[in-house]
Amino acid sequence: MGLEEKIPAGIGLTTVEALAGWAQQRSPWPVTMGLACCAIEMMSFGATRFDASRIGMEVFRASPRHADIMIVSGRVSHKMAPVVRNIYDQMPDPKWVISMGACASSGGVFNNYAIVQGIDHIVPVDIYLPGCPPRPEMLINAVFELRNNLMKNRPLGEHRKEVARKAEAAALAALPLESQKGLLA
């Protein structure tokens, strides 16, 4: 509902687009989504040693309506899956998802009926962070990769919501990770 909604399609306002993109790149606001042991590493990412405020992530938001990045850290049970999707749906567009850890990305060592075998079955994932648990330095690198690759090329103008819906539909229709395991399944 801001300036990016008022810009007509086809108008080259590169300075406005560059300013809006720069502001959003430099101040990502993550939603609190710590589900298991990877959340401890995510918490240390915000502590003094790694200091997430140096890269603009001052506060983890408790309300999804004030956040634009969801960091899913830890295993997701089938009971928690609708809650995760509800929180994702409440986040304003544009929004991004980082899957932190092996359990969030592919179910990890929990190959059973209670754990979702990859968060990409529930929400579209932009960055996968491997490890059990991944270190805070890896999360910092993932935020920089997200900043450089995805946020820089975000669409502005009246077709912004249409592009976001198409990207989400394509991500949810992609081949799930459990069918890509090959001989490990």
Residue 176's pLDDT band, with cuts at 50, 70 and 90, is: low
Higher-confidence residue: 184 or 106? 106
Distance CA 41, CA 46 (A): 9
Ramachandran region of residue 107, left (φ > 0), alpha (ψ -120 to 50) or beta?
A: left
Tell me what the pLDDT averaged over the chain comes to: 75
Q: What pLDDT, on a 0 to 100 scale, did the predictor assign at position 1?
A: 52
Distance separating the N- and C-terminal Cα atoms of the chain = 46
Q: What is the pLDDT of residues 2-56, one digit of tens each?
A: 666 666 665 555 666 666 666 666 667 788 777 888 778 877 777 777 777 777 7
Distance CA 100, CA 121 (A): 15
Residue numbering of the annotated binding site: 37-38, 103, 132
Distance CA 126, CA 175 (A): 14
Ranges assigned E (strand) in 4-131: 30-31, 69-73, 96-100, 127-129
Distance CA 87, CA 108 (A): 23
Q: What is the pLDDT of residues 118-139, one digit of tens each?
A: 888 888 888 888 888 888 888 8
The arithmetic mean of pLDDT across residues 164-182, rounded, is: 69
pLDDT reading at 86 higher than 50: yes
The arithmetic mean of pLDDT across residues 157-167, rounded, is: 70
* pTM greater than 0.75 (yes/no): no
Please choose, from the candidates 38, 22, 64, 6, the residue with its C-alpha nearest in 3D space to the C-alpha of residue 142. 38
**Radius of gyration of the chain from Cα atoms?**
17
pLDDT reading at 112 higher than 60: yes
Residue numbering of the annotated binding site for [4Fe-4S] cluster: 37-38, 103, 132
Residue 60's pLDDT band, with cuts at 50, 70 and 90, is: confident
Q: Count other Cβ atoms within 10 Å, centred on residue 37.
A: 14
